[in-house]
Amino acid sequence: MDYEKIIEQITAHAADYALRFVAAVLIFYIGKFLAKMLAKIAQRAMTKTHMDETLAGFLKNVIYALLFAVVIIASLNALGVQTTSLVAVMGAAGLAVGLSLKDQVANFGAGVLIVMLRPFKVGDVVTLAGQTGSVLTIQVFQTILKTFDNLTIMIPNSSVMGGTITNFSLQGTRMIPLVIGISYDSDIKKAKDIMLETMSAHEKVLKDPAPAAGVLELADSSVNLFARSWVETADWWGTKADLLENIKNNLSAAGIEIPFPQMDVHCFKMDDKA
């Protein structure tokens, strides 16, 4: 047996596989870097065309995923792996994984619908699956919210599309509905005038539609009046707090009582015979 030829062949094969391995590693890391860079360039290009930020971010993730798949196939090809058969195996494996991960597939499909239908976008204040906050990002499988107390909530996209979506930022203006109870002895017209004057005097309250006030219901312990005004959506929370405080102070200054629920108990003395 010619050991020198065997050693020579082993050395040649080892050198060949070493070169292939180095080439595969270089292709993988350089390709991954280029994939990220090209995805970012594509996002910037889409943003410059005034494309919606949510759609641009979603397409960036899709572009990166496709480019990264090409990089993996190219790396395996450099190692000498037959990628044609590998693609078929990956397809069959993908089907099996898809069946086992049907919930994630549903989340992906829901994510595509969110991007296409655009019921909300990044930065909107929404209520999704019972959670309220501003939209931080819309990802392939989940939507991430930031709540008012600075919590981060990740909601599966299937839960988002499967429930009611409330978008507080979609409309430019929003109504502030208030219910104020006054005592039955108070002057209703005077209370209405005070509420109208208070709303009209606030700098954030819009003139059109004009503020409105009236009797809502005759409750057990109070006459409930409604006070409605319109503001820019961004001013809703602050203006509501101001109006509640100002209306309460102005009604109290005018001697109009804001009652609280109470019960009168009448005691009757009965004689001993009864």
pLDDT at 15: 67
> Same domain, yes or no, for 153 and 179?
no
CB 118 within 8 A of CB 52: yes
- Average pLDDT on 81-104 reads 63
Length of the chain, in residues: 274
Does 274 score more than 60 pLDDT?
Answer: no
In a domain, 231, yes or no: yes
Structural domain boundaries, residue 227:
173-253
- Average pLDDT on 264-270 reads 73
pLDDT at 88: 63
pLDDT at 262: 67
pLDDT at 136: 92
CB 110 within 8 A of CB 157: yes
> Same domain, yes or no, for 185 and 159?
no
In a domain, 131, yes or no: yes
In a domain, 241, yes or no: yes
pLDDT at 183: 92
Does 127 score more than 90 pLDDT?
Answer: yes
pLDDT at 23: 80
pLDDT at 195: 96
Provide the number of structural domains found in the chain. 3
pLDDT at 106: 83
pTM (two decimals): 0.59
55: amino acid identity, one letter: L
- Average pLDDT on 16-45 reads 84
> Same domain, yes or no, for 9 and 90?
yes
pLDDT at 85: 60
Does 128 score more than 60 pLDDT?
Answer: yes
pLDDT at 216: 94
Domain boundary among the residues 100, 135, 159 is at: 100
In a domain, 271, yes or no: no
Does 172 score more than 80 pLDDT?
Answer: yes
pLDDT at 20: 76
CB 205 within 8 A of CB 232: no
* CATH number (domain holding residue 228): 3.30.70.100
In a domain, 138, yes or no: yes
